[in-house]
C-alpha cells in the first residue's frame, strides 16, 4: 500500500490492513507526504528494500528467463536500472511491484499481465492512495459513492472488469 499526499490518516489505513493473525504492517516514510508500506507474514523480512534513490516492494512471485520462482526485490531493481519500465515485459508470475524514485519523486506501479493480484487506487486531486485491498482505502476516504455497475459485475462475473469497483472513487489498476 502507499499514500502520496496527506498521510495524516495513515494509521487508520494500516490498521485496516492488519486484520489477519500472523501478519504485521511495515511502513517507510520516503519523503514528506509519501508513505510506502506492506503487510507481511510475521516471520518474513520487512518487505521493502531501499537502494540508493530507489525503493521497491513486491507482493507475490515472478519468473524470469534467468531464474525459477523468486520474490527478490534486488533482482527487480537490477532489471529496472538496466531496462527501465520495460523490465516488466520480461517477468511472468503473480505479483504487484511498487517502485518509488526518491530523486524524481515518482511512483511506478506494476502488476502481472493478467492482473491476478488486484491493485486498487484512489486519487482525489491532492492525495493518491493505492492498496491491494479496497478496505484500506475506504478507511481514509472522506466521500464514497456506490458504483452499481461495479457491484453488478462483481456478482455476475465473480470479479471486477476493467477499472470498475463497487466504489465509484476507487479504481482497479489495469494489467
Q: Mind listing the pLDDT tens digit for each residue in 58-104?
A: 888 887 766 554 558 888 999 999 999 999 988 888 888 989 998 99
Q: 163 pLDDT exceeds 60? A: yes
Q: What is the mean pLDDT of the chain?
A: 81
Q: Does residue 119 register a pLDDT over 80?
A: yes
> How confident is the model over 118-129, as a mean pLDDT?
88
- For residue 127, is pLDDT > 60? yes
- Average pLDDT on 13-24 reads 65
Helix (H, G, I), strand (E, B) or coil at 76: helix
Termini Cα distance of the chain: 17
- Does 123 or 5 have the greater pLDDT score? 123
pLDDT at 162: 83
The per-residue pLDDT for 4 is 66
Between residues 140 and 18, the one the model is more confident about: 140
Whether the per-residue pLDDT at 140 is higher than 90: the answer is no
> Average pLDDT, stretch 119-147?
87
Q: How far is CA 151 from CA 159, 163, 168, in A?
A: 9, 12, 10
Amino acid at each position: 500500500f502507499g499514500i502520496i499526499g496527506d498521510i495524516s490518516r495513515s494509521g487508520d489505513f494500516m490498521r485496516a490492513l492488519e486484520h489477519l493473525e500472523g501478519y504485521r504492517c511495515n511502513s517507510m516514510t520516503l519523503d514528506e507526504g509519501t508513505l510506502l508500506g506492506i503487510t507481511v507474514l510475521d516471520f518474513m523480512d520487512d518487505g521493502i528494500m531501499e537502494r540508493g534513490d530507489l525503493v521497491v516492494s513486491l507482493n507475490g512471485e515472478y519468473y524470469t528467463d534467468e531464474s525459477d520462482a523468486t520474490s527478490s526485490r534486488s533482482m527487480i531493481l537490477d532489471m529496472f536500472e538496466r531496462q527501465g519500465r520495460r523490465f516488466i515485459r520480461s517477468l511472468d508470475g503473480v505479483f504487484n511491484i511498487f517502485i518509488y524514485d526518491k530523486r524524481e519523486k515518482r511512483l511506478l506501479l506494476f502488476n502481472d499481465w493478467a492482473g491476478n493480484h488486484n491493485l486498487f487506487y484512489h486519487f482525489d486531486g491532492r492525495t493518491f492512495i493505492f492498496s491491494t485491498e479496497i478496505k484500506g482505502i475506504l478507511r481514509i476516504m472522506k466521500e464514497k459513492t456506490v458504483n452499481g455497475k461495479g457491484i453488478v459485475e462483481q456478482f455476475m462475473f465473480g470479479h471486477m472488469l476493467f477499472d470498475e469497483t463497487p466504489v465509484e472513487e476507487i479504481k482497479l489498476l489495469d494489467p
